[in-house]
Amino acid sequence: MKSRLTYAVVPARGGSKGVPRKNIKLLKGFPLIAYTIAAAKLSKMTDRIIVSTESPEIAEIAKNFGAEVPFLRPEEYAQDRSPDSDFVRHAIDWFAKNEKMQPELFVHLRPTTPLRDPALIDKAIGEIVNNNEATALRSVHELAEPPQKMFGIEKGYLTGLFPNETRPEYYNLPRQVFPKAYHPNGYVDIIRTGFVTSTNTLHGPRMIGFVTPYTIEIDNPEDFSHLEYSIDKCSHPLYEYLTQNY
């Protein structure tokens, strides 16, 4: 039961508290998920586009934009606190049971990072294909400030996040004295399905750090406004693809 196929997998549950129905909320006239499906369609290295959702409404919209929805995800794997491992293992098990195979790679594309360059998706796939030692790949962008410059709040007072740091008021030091830090951004994560089934973990200890340009992840309504402004100002190839084809 081995295959070298590469599947783009788009998780899109129906529940969202911060932005209700976020994955199908319109962004410049198209459902948010349509941008991610378009990016996967324009990728030259993905064999299928699979949407994992528990929502029949999202399933129908996803199919209208060219994705497959061969199954509905069980409700228990689509809760606020459901980890990514739930939908990944469910998808792997479904393909093993119903199609008697599993792809070698899942290219995990989150709808909440909608504006991608398909060429970067292909570049990421190439990097993990050519690195047999890597257990996974995760996309990141560089943080403007390292975590040593950030604070928590305890009893109303700011407190540094690194209690073992010996330098007095280390958080006031220039950012250049700290190592660069990177934020995982959901642009493109790649999972080896064989590693998941053999270890019951997603990413393992040898994750390729795939550095992308800074990208906006949608967490609140203001992020939609920001992205719409960006598209209005500069347009975007995915928006152009959608307007030309849908």
pLDDT in tens, 196-231: 999 999 999 999 999 999 998 998 889 999 999 999
Tell me what the mean pLDDT of segment 96-109 comes to.
Answer: 95
Look at the domain 6-143+180-245 and name its fold. Answer: Spore Coat Polysaccharide Biosynthesis Protein SpsA; Chain A (3.90.550)
pLDDT at 14: 85
CA separation for the pair 147, 170 (Å, rounded)? 11
pLDDT of 76 higher than 90? no
Mean pLDDT rounded to a whole number for the chain: 93
3-state secondary structure of 2: coil
CA separation for the pair 192, 202 (Å, rounded)? 8
pLDDT at 20: 77
Token pair for residue 125?
A: 């796939």
Given the structure tokens 């529940």, which residue do they identify?
15
pLDDT of 8 higher than 80? yes
User: So where are the chain's domains?
Assistant: 6-143+180-245, 145-179
**Percent residues over pLDDT 70 in the chain:** 98
CA separation for the pair 174, 182 (Å, rounded)? 17
Q: Around Cβ 237, how many Cβ atoms within 10 Å?
A: 15
Residue 229 CB contacts under 8 Å (≥ 6 apart), including other chains: none
pLDDT at 107: 98
pLDDT at 213: 94
CA separation for the pair 117, 187 (Å, rounded)? 9
What pTM value is reported for the model? 0.92
pLDDT tens digits for range 115-166: 999 999 999 999 999 999 999 999 999 999 999 999 999 999 999 999 999 9
pLDDT tens digits for range 11-63: 998 877 667 789 999 999 999 999 999 999 999 999 999 999 999 999 999 99
